[in-house]
Structure 1
Amino acid sequence: MKQKLMVFILTLFVLLLAACSSESSTEESKSTDSSEPKETAEAKEITVKHLLGETDVKVNPENVVVFDFGVLETLDTLGVKAVTALPKEGTVPSQLEKYKSDKYESVGSLKEPDFEKINELQPELIIISARQQDLYEEFAEIAPTIYLGVDTTKYMESFKENTDILGQIFGKEAEVKEELAKIDENIKALKEKASGLDEKALVTLIDEGNISAYGPASRFGIIHDVFGVKPVDENIEVSTHGQSISFEYLVEKDPDILFVVDRGAVVTTGQAASPAKEVLNNDLVKGTKAFKEDRIVYLDPNVWYLSGGGIISVNEMVKAIDESL
């Protein structure tokens, strides 16, 4: 009887050990199951909605190719160190001089990207804007690509959306909020100043002797739409290249302030272009109020033509117009 009891107890003990071992193995299996999603900093992504579609973008990418100088300005201001390449063939804006360094690869020009070089770099993210819009599919075949060009018909809204997206991608939301608040404050002061003036202005771009005018909702419409400077002509054709005008038009409209962007000063062409000041050096222009009152204002083409839509350039735009008033 005692022998049977001993066998029973031993059997029961073995069964209990087996049960404990099985439970432990199950718990360990649960804790190491690779099918469970793991949310790490490296694996996190956000979906960016942009003009050309939706793109899944890795948070805090470390190898980024940038084809928009306004975006590059913003990343630089936010202290982002992830940029590895940019279009260096042509003119890099003076405010981004440091990116001419050999530390950064050249991937062609703004309008002629070097896709072979981009593919070689294997970037984690490519950022483009209007000048590369038609090549979006070719970029997207290489790496996740987002479009962050500024919509000039709603300049500040578009600029802020783009800046917010960059803040989310690179974990700089607080810095973005601070920078945008400063800009809003400066614009508010400028708009109050401009609204109290009766002076009317005309914005022009001069290229190889030709003059184009820009009004509200145009490429340089921020001067009127956001800063509040009154336009001398409300009906200027809205287009990327502006409305072609003559010196007679300048005399007819007779602006109090004439803003000038000299494209030839920053864009190299086949032949040397006449500086804007030489183009405007004639008797018709000398008869305008802007000339007589020394109110012809030459805007920095590095800011107004090559970049724009970045934290640095928008700040510089506000400053230039404020000083002109």
Structure 2
Amino acid sequence: MKKKLSLFFIIAVLAVFAVACGTTKDDNTSGSKSEGKSESKSEVLTIKHQLGETPVQKNPKKVVVFDMGTLDTLDKLGLSDSVVGVPQKNLPSYLDAYKDSKYSNVGGLKEPDFEAINEIQPDLIIISGRQQDSYDKFSEIAPTIFMGVDTNKYMDSFKENVKTIGEIFGKEEQADKELASIDKDIADLKEKADASDAKALITLASGGKVTAYGPSSRFGLIHDVFGIKAVTKDLEADPVHGQNISMEFITEKNPDILYVIDRDAAVGEGNNAKQVIENDLVKKTNAYKNNKIVYLDPGYWYLSGGGLESVSEMVKEAAKGLE
């Protein structure tokens, strides 16, 4: 009987021990799985943009950027390590650091290299107007968002883009601080513009020809946002490509300030604007006589408008016309 009881006792103890061991193992396994889930789980944001809605993983590690304004903003917010690919041929000079070999060249602004992009396997692709027709093709490779600036509501769309970048990368506070600084500079410029009677004409020189831009155009924020008066409101051409004008037109309108953007310089075809603009006819204008022909940096104005640095510098350059 005693032997039977002893045997029963031993079996019972072993059973309890086995259950205890099994429970401990399951708990550890469960813990490992839970930790793995926690590590792999990341927040996904739904980003609304001009071309649709895109789920975007927060803090993406590999970003391909075709919009120069967005690249500018990423750089200003200290996010260069998140950029893995850019169209290196089309970079403005102040963003030349992205020509480094550690960044992949992903083609041109109008001719993306989809094979190169696919090899990168990015977490996010950011495009703007020049690439929008290929949105579906980009989206097949990775989540893609459109971040171009709407010239009809320049500051609203610019701020929305910056805030979106801030949200995606957890840089909201820094983004708001940078925007507040720009708002202050614009308010100061607008105050000077309101107090001045000076009237301006915005031009772009390209291949020996000149086009003009008025309010609500590609460069119209000089009038619409900064408050500098336009010498004419009769420009009815495409707001993106401007209206072809003659030198006689400039003389006739006689602007007090003549803003000039050199497209040739922007695309690497030489600095030709001054030769084109400063001819005998234009020398009759108030702008020339009073040294108020302002050559705007084409990197900021033509290639990368809509970035934190570019917009800040655009305010400063426009202000030169009122100095």
Where does residue 305 of structure 2 map in the other structure? 308
Evaluate the alpha carbon distance shift between residue 40 and residue 234 of structure 1 in structure 2; reply closer, same or farther with a 3 A threshold. farther
- 1:15-164 map, 5 Å: 42-80=41-79, 81-89=81-89, 91-164=90-163
Where does residue 315 of structure 2 map in the other structure? 318
Unaligned runs of 5+ in 1: 1-5
| AA aligned opposite 1:300 | D
Moved more, 136-145 or 288-297: 288-297
SS of the aligned residue for 2:281 comes to helix
Where does residue 298 of structure 1 map in the other structure? 295
Q: Report the alpha carbon displacement of residue 28 of structure 1 after superposing the two structures with TM.
A: 5.9
Where does residue 3 of structure 1 map in the other structure? none
Deviations 1:274-304 (A, max 9, x none): 7111112322111111111111110000110
- For residues 191 and 236 of structure 1, the distance between their equivalents in structure 2, rounded to whole angstroms, comes to 23
Q: Report the alpha carbon displacement of residue 63 of structure 1 after superposing the two structures with TM.
A: 0.6
- Does the CA contact (< 8 Å) of 1:179 and 1:311 recur in 2? yes
Q: Report the alpha carbon displacement of residue 40 of structure 1 after superposing the two structures with TM.
A: 5.4
- For residues 48 and 235 of structure 1, the distance between their equivalents in structure 2, rounded to whole angstroms, comes to 38
SS of the aligned residue for 1:241 comes to coil
Task: Give the alignment's Cα RMSD to 1 decimal.
Answer: 2.8
| AA aligned opposite 1:149 | G
Where does residue 263 of structure 1 map in the other structure? 263
SS of the aligned residue for 2:70 comes to helix
Q: Report the alpha carbon displacement of residue 68 of structure 1 after superposing the two structures with TM.
A: 1.0
Where does residue 239 of structure 1 map in the other structure? 239
Q: TM-score if structure 1 supplies the norm length?
A: 0.87
Where does residue 253 of structure 2 map in the other structure? 253
- For residues 50 and 28 of structure 1, the distance between their equivalents in structure 2, rounded to whole angstroms, comes to 45
- For residues 41 and 305 of structure 1, the distance between their equivalents in structure 2, rounded to whole angstroms, comes to 41
- For residues 185 and 299 of structure 1, the distance between their equivalents in structure 2, rounded to whole angstroms, comes to 21
SS of the aligned residue for 2:201 comes to strand
| AA aligned opposite 2:193 | A
- For residues 246 and 213 of structure 1, the distance between their equivalents in structure 2, rounded to whole angstroms, comes to 10
Q: TM-score if structure 2 supplies the norm length?
A: 0.88
| AA aligned opposite 2:225 | V
2:181 maps to 1:168: no
| AA aligned opposite 1:239 | P
- Does the CA contact (< 8 Å) of 2:294 and 2:320 recur in 1? no
Evaluate the alpha carbon distance shift between residue 42 and residue 95 of structure 1 in structure 2; reply closer, same or farther with a 3 A threshold. farther
- For residues 40 and 316 of structure 2, the distance between their equivalents in structure 1, rounded to whole angstroms, comes to 39
SS of the aligned residue for 2:197 comes to coil
- Does the CA contact (< 8 Å) of 1:129 and 1:149 recur in 2? yes
Deviations 1:126-146 (A, max 9, x none): 000111111111111110000
- For residues 197 and 42 of structure 1, the distance between their equivalents in structure 2, rounded to whole angstroms, comes to 57
SS of the aligned residue for 1:54 comes to strand
Q: Report the alpha carbon displacement of residue 268 of structure 1 after superposing the two structures with TM.
A: 3.8
Evaluate the alpha carbon distance shift between residue 42 and residue 84 of structure 1 in structure 2; reply closer, same or farther with a 3 A threshold. farther
- For residues 314 and 295 of structure 2, the distance between their equivalents in structure 1, rounded to whole angstroms, comes to 12
SS of the aligned residue for 2:314 comes to helix
- For residues 128 and 294 of structure 2, the distance between their equivalents in structure 1, rounded to whole angstroms, comes to 28
- Identity, in percent, stands at 55
Unaligned runs of 5+ in 2: none
Evaluate the alpha carbon distance shift between residue 252 and residue 193 of structure 1 in structure 2; reply closer, same or farther with a 3 A threshold. same
SS of the aligned residue for 1:198 comes to coil
Q: How many residues align?
A: 311
- For residues 154 and 259 of structure 1, the distance between their equivalents in structure 2, rounded to whole angstroms, comes to 21
Q: Report the alpha carbon displacement of residue 43 of structure 1 after superposing the two structures with TM.
A: 2.1
